[in-house]
Amino acid sequence: MVEQIVPATNRVGGTLDVYIPDRNAILDRGIRKTGEPRQEILDYIAESGMLSYQSIYDALVKRNSFDRVALHYSNGEHISPKGGERALYVYQPNVDGIGWFYSSASVPRERVHFDTTKPDRAQRIQYLIDSVEALAKIR
């Protein structure tokens, strides 16, 4: 999927900090558990979730809109960006409320989406990246 992301022609510049839930956050609030699932199954699902989230980071790096894209792990809560920081993050309060958000000094908190009408995963992700780039240009 990442190989299908086209490098930006109009760069945003600066740094984008990407926060994805760590393994414990996914285990605690990112998996719907029924019955008594074995730990190795839960571990596999948590690892798969982290890799899926990391693929968005990889796509942003490949897009090359920002001078720097930094990956951080979080507890899945809302991020309050530090002065001048632009943050894209996964908010994961529970298994039913997982979503991506963008936040900066100019954009306090904005939910960003994938275009689920597109049949191709790369096109869906490109929509999210386009949204992040547009929000990052707001001063």
Q: How far apart, in whole angstroms, are the C-alpha atoms of residue 115 and residue 118?
A: 6
For 21, phi then psi, to 5°, come to: -60, 140
- Is residue 2, in this structure, part of any structural domain at all? no
Could you give the number of structural domains in the chain?
A: 1
Residue range of the domain that includes 32 = 12-136
Tell me how far the alpha carbon of residue 73 is from its chain's centroid.
11
Q: Report how far apart, in Å, the C-alpha atoms of 132 and of each of 36, 83, 111 are.
A: 39, 18, 10
Tokens matching residue 88: 């894209």
- Is residue 5, in this structure, part of any structural domain at all? no
Q: Say what the pTM is.
A: 0.92
- Is residue 59, in this structure, part of any structural domain at all? yes
Proportion of the chain in helix, strand, coil states, percent, rounded to 5: 35, 20, 45
Q: How far apart, in whole angstroms, are the C-alpha atoms of residue 19 and residue 64?
A: 18
User: What is the chain's pLDDT, residue by residue, as a tens digit (139 residues)?
Assistant: 788 899 999 999 999 999 999 999 999 998 988 889 899 999 999 999 999 999 999 999 999 999 999 999 999 999 998 888 999 999 999 989 899 999 999 999 999 999 999 999 999 999 999 999 999 999 7
Going edge to edge, which strands form the sheet with 15-21? 68-74, 15-21, 87-91, 99-103, 110-112
Other Cβ atoms closer than 10 A to 116: 8
- Is residue 95, in this structure, part of any structural domain at all? yes
- Is residue 88, in this structure, part of any structural domain at all? yes
- Is residue 6, in this structure, part of any structural domain at all? no
